[in-house]
Amino acid sequence: MAGELTLRINLDSTVPAYRQIVEGLRILLVNGKLAPESELPSVRRMALDLGVHFNTVAEAYRTLAEEGWLHLHHGRSARVVFRDVPDPTMDQMDEFGRRLRTLIAEMLAKGIPADKLTAEMHAAAEGLES
Amino acid sequence: MAGELTLRINLDSTVPAYRQIVEGLRILLVNGKLAPESELPSVRRMALDLGVHFNTVAEAYRTLAEEGWLHLHHGRSARVVFRDVPDPTMDQMDEFGRRLRTLIAEMLAKGIPADKLTAEMHAAAEGLES
């Protein structure tokens, strides 16, 4: 892992740093960019690199540990563990469609053209299919 | 409008009622199901129907008024107004792709199969194209 983790957060964003760290790392974990057995930077290192409080990183690591992605050691270091894919509930199966429609409505309201949204969705779908 | 508005919220959800109301109404507004000049139920009526506090509905109406969807009258009644589509900023143009990838990673982590996600995205894209 040393020095290879590319995680950027935007401290000016309205999205809390904690959530940006969790979501950014989760993308890397889902895509296998952070593979089982690899070590994440220590909480202190990551906090320094990102310019956030120690506790913000510690809380993000704890959240991902609860989701089964990380094994924490004394709350300071974190190792990626092999994670079984859970069986989603029926409600979770429907959640994506609901949240996607909500996101689309929000973007249309902001004036993003529909063809831009469809292009992004087709690209994302292709990425999943390959 | 009288009696015709279909807005359901889930009081057991972790998503705050305020956000569910804003997002639910925004979908109806974007889709034209709530057309300009139509009257929304009064804040009091909507609060009673949904089983939430008066202030929760009032706050949701205020948010949509700030976005340019509603004209409020004494903070009690709300009329849908004609809303110009804004010119999105470059950052907003990129926002959908970022948030879509974040949502997809979260869903994959919950065990939702990739083909379910692609099917939902293709369906949503078709809905926008028609």
Asked if A29 is an interface residue toward chain B (Cβ–Cβ < 8 A), one would say: yes
pLDDT band at A5 (very low <50, low <70, confident <90, very high): confident
Instruction: Give the pLDDT of residue A1.
Output: 42
> Average model confidence (pLDDT) for chain A?
90
Mean pLDDT in residue range B76-90: 88
Measured in residues, chain A has a length of 130
Examine the pLDDT at B87 and tell me if it is beyond 50.
Answer: yes
pLDDT surpasses 90 at B71:
yes
pLDDT tens digit string along B88-100? Answer: 988 888 899 999 9
Of A85, A86, A81, A78, which is closest to residue A36 (Cα–Cα)? A81
pLDDT tens per residue, range A55-81:
999 999 999 999 999 999 987 889 999
Name the residue ranges covered by the structural domains of chain A.
17-80, 90-129
**Interface A-B: count of C-beta contacts within 8 A:** 130
Residue A125 in contact with partner chain B when CB distance is under 8 A = yes
* pTM (global) more than 0.95: no
* Residue B87: both structure tokens together: 């010119």
Structure-block tokens of residue B35: 């057309």
To the nearest whole angstrom, how far is the Cα of B3 from the nearest Cα of chain A?
23
CB contact under 8 A, B108 and A29: no
Spatial neighbors of A83 by CB under 8 A, at least 6 apart, are A29, A36, A67, A68, A69
Question: Which residues of chain A neighbour B81 with C-beta distances below 8 Å?
Answer: none
What CATH number was assigned to the domain covering residues B17-80? Answer: 1.10.10.10
If you average pLDDT over every residue of chain B, what do you get? Answer: 90
Q: pLDDT digit string (tens) for B7-43? A: 889 988 888 999 999 999 999 998 888 999 999 999 9
The pLDDT assigned to B4 comes to 61
Take residue B51 and report the two structure tokens written for it: 């089983």
Question: How far is C-alpha B18 from the geometric centre of its chain's CA atoms?
Answer: 10
pLDDT (0 to 100) of residue B1: 41
Q: How far apart are the C-alpha atoms of A45 and A23, rounded to whole Å? A: 19
Give the full edge-to-edge strand order of the sheet including B70-73.
B39-40, B77-80, B70-73
Residue B2 scores a pLDDT above 70: no
Task: Say which residues have a Cβ less than 8 Å from residue A126's Cβ, sequence separation at least 6.
Answer: none
The nearest CA of chain A is from the CA of B78 a distance in Å of: 18
Whole-angstrom CA distances from B70 to A14, A29, B28, B41, B62 are: 24, 42, 12, 12, 8
- Tokens 């982590």 found at: B109
